[in-house]
Amino acid sequence: MSLRKYIGTIHPRAAVVLHDLTMAALAWWIAKDLRYAMIPDEALGFQLLEFPLVLLVQGLVFTWTGLYKGLWRFASLPDLWNILRAAVVGAAITGLVLFLYGRLDGVPRSVLLLYPVVLVVLLGVPRLAYRFWKDSRLDLFQTQQVKRVLIVGADPAGEALSRDLRRDGHFSVVGFVDDRPSLRGASINGHPVLGRLEQLPELTHEAAVEMLLIALPGATTSEMRRVVELCDGTGLPYRTVPRLEDVVAGRAQFNEIKEVAIEDLLGRDAVELDWTAIRESLMGRRVLVTGGGGSIGSELCRQVACLGIASLTVVEHSEYNLYRISQELRSQFPELLFESILADVGDPVAMRRLFASQRPQVVFHAAAYKHVPMLQGQLRSAFRNNVLGSRTAADLADEFHAECFVLISTDKAVNPTSVMGACKRVAEIYCQNLNARSQTHYITVRFGNVLDSAGSVVPLFREQIRSGGPVTITHPEISRYFMTIPEACQLILQAASLGKGGEIFALDMGEPVKIRDLAEQMIRLAGKKPGTEVPIIYTGLRAGEKLFEELFHPLENYSATTHAKIFLAQHREVAWELLLALLAKAAEAVTVFDEDELRRCVSSLLPAFRWSDTAQPADVISIRRNDTK
C-alpha cells in the first residue's frame, strides 16, 4: 500500500488526535527548552517516562473536555475555551503525576507555567488557520458567479446567515441594514452596518448590491410588509429566511433562504394558544378526522398527532390525498396508532362500520365540498356531501357516544348567497339542535379563506402569473378574510377545548384583504409588474358570490371568549320535528335526483336564502359586514 493510500485510510478523528498529542509533546519540549535556555548553566534533560506520562494525561484531559467533538472547519471561541481548559487542567494533573513519579526531578516549576501557554498556541493556531483557509477559499471556476448581497436585519439570524454565506462561497456580503441606533457604525463578522432600512435604495446603488436577503424571522406581519415594500422599491431580487413558527414546527430550516411567500405578508402575528387546555382535551383520546386528506383536515391530523392522543383515524374519499397524508404521518409519527380509511362520509354503511370499529371519542368533521362557483349549479352533490354527510357523521357520533363533535364551517354560511354556504348553514343548524338531544358536545367553528388551500384563489393566481397572465378577478372591490392553514387549525383545536356543546365559534380573521391587492402583491413577489408585465382583468361577480363575507348573522348575538381571537355566537333554535321532516324529504329528493324538491326543502330550512344562477351586477350588491372586534 502506498503512503498516499495509507494516509487516506486514517479516520479524520484519529488524525486530529495524533496531531494534538504531537503538539502536546512539542509544547512540553518547547516549555522545558525555554526554561533551560534562560539558565545556560543547567543542562536540558528528560526522565525515562516523562513524555509517555505527559501524553497519557493530556490525551485523557483532551477527551474529558470534549475537544474532539468540535470540527476544525467550524472552530470558534468555544473550541478555544476547551483548549485553554484542557491545557491548564492538563498542566496541573501532569505536575501531580510527575511529582508522584519522580518528585518532579528535572522538571522546574516554571515549566508547568510555560507549558499550557505554548500548548494553547500550538493547538489553537492550526484550528483557526484551517477555518480561515476554508472560509476564504473561493472556487476559481465560480468567481464570476459570486453575488453581492445586502442583509436586511442585524439580529442573530442575520449574523448566522452571514457566516453561512461566507462558507457557501457563492455570495459576498457587503453589509447589513438595521433600524436600531445602537448599531450605527458597527461591524458584524467583518461586515459593516451601512444604515437604516429607509436608505435601502441609495445603499444598494452605492454598494452595487445584486440581491437583498431579509433575515427577520421574528418580524410581525406588518413589519414584514414594510420591509418587502422597501425591497420592492430597489428593483432588486430579494429572499428571506423562514419565520420562527415555521422553524419550530419543522416546516423549514433556520437559515434556509426562500422566496417571500404571500403567507409572510397576509398571515397574522403568532397566535397565543392555551396548549395545556388543548392537550388535556385530546390526550389519551381516540380521534377521528373526516376529510383528513384536504388542506384543513391534513393539517389537523399533523397537529393532533403531536398531542398525545391514543389513536388517529383519517377518513378521506380521495385515494391520492389519503395515500399522501398516510405516508407523511407514518413517517413522522411511527409510534402513533393510525388508521386510514378510504370512504365517503355520505356512505352511511361505511361510516357506521367505521364508528363501530374505531369508537372515536373526538370527531373533527372537515369533509366538505367548498368550491362556490362549481357547486352553484350542482345542488344535489353539495347537499348530499355537505348536509347529509355531516348528518350521518353527527348521528353516528351520538350513537357511539363520542365526547365531542367539531363541525368545520365557513363564513359563507352567514347570510348565505351560494349553494355551498346554504348547505353549510343547514349542517350548522342540524348539529346545533342535535346537541340539546345528545350527550355528545356538538361544536361549530367558522372561519374564512385559508391561504394556499386546494382550489383557493392563491394557487390560481400563482398559476396565472407563472403562465404570464392575465390574472382574473371578479370585481375590483371584492374582499375576503384570510388566515394561514396552521393558524386556522390551531384555533379550531382551541375552540374545541373551550366548547361545552351547542356553540358556534367564529375565528377572528383580522381585517379583510382586497383580492386586487392580493393579486398585485403576488405579481410583485414573482418579480413582475402588475398591469404591464402581468395584466389584471375583471370578469364580474359569479352566481352566489358576495363582495364582502360575514362572520356573524345580525340575529346571532356574539360575545368574546377567554381567547382573544375566538368569538361565540348564540345559535338560533329550530323546531326539531320540522327539521327532521325537512331533512328526510330532502334526503328522498337526493335519492331520486329531484333538485326542484330539494330546492324547496332548502328554502323551507333557510327562508331568507335567495336562489340565483347568475350574479347580480356588482354595483347593486351591498352586504353589510359585522365588525368582529
Nearest to 408 by CA among 313, 306, 290, 238: 290
Q: What is the pLDDT of residue 7?
A: 39
Q: At what angle do helices 576-591 and 595-605 cross, to 10 degrees?
A: 160
Which ranges in the chain are annotated with CATH 3.40.50.720?
140-260, 275-451+482-509+549-620
Q: CA-to-CA distance for 484 and 71, rounded, in angstroms? A: 40
Q: What is the pLDDT of residue 552?
A: 53
Q: What type of residue sits at position 209? A: V
Nearest to 461 by CA among 248, 601, 261: 261
Per-state percent for the chain, helix, strand, coil, to nearest 5: 50, 15, 35
Q: What is the pLDDT of residue 140?
A: 42
Q: Catalytic amino acids?
A: 412
Which tens digits make up the pLDDT trace of 244-290?
555 555 555 555 676 776 666 665 555 667 888 889 889 999 999 99
Q: What is the pLDDT of residue 592?
A: 95
Q: Per DSSP, which regions of 215-285 are E strands? A: 238-240
Q: Is the CB of residue 285 less than 8 Å from the CB of residue 362?
A: yes
Q: Is the CB of residue 458 less than 8 Å from the CB of residue 485?
A: no
Q: CA-to-CA distance for 96 and 110, rounded, in angstroms? A: 14
Which tens digits make up the pLDDT trace of 70-129?
556 556 666 778 888 888 888 888 888 888 877 777 777 788 888 888 888 888 888 778
Q: What is the pLDDT of residue 579?
A: 92
CATH code, 140-260: 3.40.50.720
Q: In the structure grid, which three cell numbers stand for residue 274, read together?
A: 392555551
Q: Rg of the Cα trace of the chain?
A: 34
Q: How far is CA 551 from CA 278, 302, 453, in A?
A: 24, 27, 19
Nearest to 442 by CA among 355, 364, 502, 393: 502
The contacts of residue 134 (CB under 8 Å, 6+ apart) are: 73, 167
In total, the chain counts a number of residues equal to 629
Q: Is the CB of residue 150 less than 8 Å from the CB of residue 70?
A: no
Q: What is the mean pLDDT of each run of 10 residues along the chain (629 residues)?
A: 42 73 86 75 69 85 74 64 85 85 76 86 82 57 66 83 74 85 77 85 83 82 82 84 59 61 63 80 94 92 92 95 94 92 94 96 94 89 96 96 93 86 93 92 84 69 84 83 79 86 77 80 79 84 68 54 67 82 95 93 87 44 30
Q: How far is CA 508 from CA 341, 454, 518, in A?
A: 33, 22, 19
Q: CA-to-CA distance for 180 and 177, rounded, in angstroms? A: 9
Fold entry, domain 275-451+482-509+549-620: Rossmann fold (3.40.50)
Q: What is the pLDDT of residue 277?
A: 86
